[in-house]
Amino acid sequence: MRDAFSDTLVRLATADPKVLLLTGDHGYALFDNFRKSCPKQYINAGIAEQNMIGMAAGLARAGFRPIVYGLSAFVPVRVLEQIKLDIAHDLLPVILIGDGAGFVYAQLGTSHQSTEDIACARSIPDLSVYSPADRFELTACMERAYNAKAPIYIRMGKSDRGDVHVDNLPEGINGLLELKRGEAQNIAFIATGSMVRTALDIARERYPRAAVWSAPVIKPIDKSQVVDICRLSSVIAVLEEHSVLGGLGSAIAEIASELAPTRVLRIGVRDQFSQHCGSYAYLLKEHGLDQPGIEKRLEDYLSAN
């Protein structure tokens, strides 16, 4: 997925000299091709993320198309006020990239783990939120963000869980993408980012009648699609490598409660910090987001309801 990000970034910047990349002293190897192809369009703003957002806002006002890159624990979380006031309030066309979302930087502890970024970004008016699951969704999200000319946050997990699509997506993705067709009155899975691969594996192995949907666009979400899925399913299981508070699961539950009441099981990070340090796989297990942990959660919920 990171290669797709780099390739798309170079393609956009080569075609449009107004595209500028700002980074907070991160991503050196990732941007080797960009620096080689577009050296005058690269700005290392240093470890000063708040200032970097202000720079991006000023450049956008001057007619440039800034793309701001940082770890998702810092962009958007550390710079939320600057995003709100400098960018979103005035609808400036700035694309914010938060890399390493979720538990990818596991060994670096809570300061570098990002499980609240969707909730933070969702709550800011006029700021869209994208969360691609593979290289195809990433490319489509980048192209959609560039064409939108609006404030957008793209959440990118550094771990590559493999492709969930087999080919490039049609231009202009607008909502949920069906990956596995299901049957009415059965469980349906809606997942985003790294959890889409897990949802597909669980559905194919344990719930063959279940539909699986990927949500690369979390805000604005297609309410009519969500309503249709809710009306055809007795249970919606929402999977995300993010807090259950304010993330995709909350967005689905909000729509279901108002427009198509059904049971929504939010599977994500509970209201707690990581208790121990370890590998990415270890932290997924600690938080019950590895495949066996999710399967048990589903079994317990379905048997009790």
Q: Which residue has the higher pLDDT, 25 or 59?
A: 59
Is 202 in contact with 298 (CB distance < 8 Å)? yes
Query: What does the domain layout of the chain look like in residue ranges?
Result: 2-156, 177-304
177-304 has the same fold as 2-156:
yes
pLDDT in tens, 191-224: 999 999 999 999 999 999 999 999 999 999 999 9
Is 42 in contact with 6 (CB distance < 8 Å)? no
User: Looking at domain 177-304, which CATH architecture does it have?
Assistant: 3-Layer(aba) Sandwich (3.40)
**What is the pTM (predicted TM-score) of this model?**
0.96
Q: How far is CA 127 from CA 77, 86, 185, 195, in A?
A: 14, 12, 35, 23
Tokens of 274: 């990581």
Distance CA 139, CA 147 (A): 12
pLDDT in tens, 222-276: 999 999 999 999 999 999 999 999 999 999 999 999 999 999 999 999 999 999 8
Asked if the model's pLDDT at residue 142 lies above 90, the reply is yes
Q: What is the mean pLDDT of residues 159-177?
A: 85
Asked if the model's pLDDT at residue 171 lies above 90, the reply is no
User: Looking at domain 2-156, which CATH architecture does it have?
Assistant: 3-Layer(aba) Sandwich (3.40)
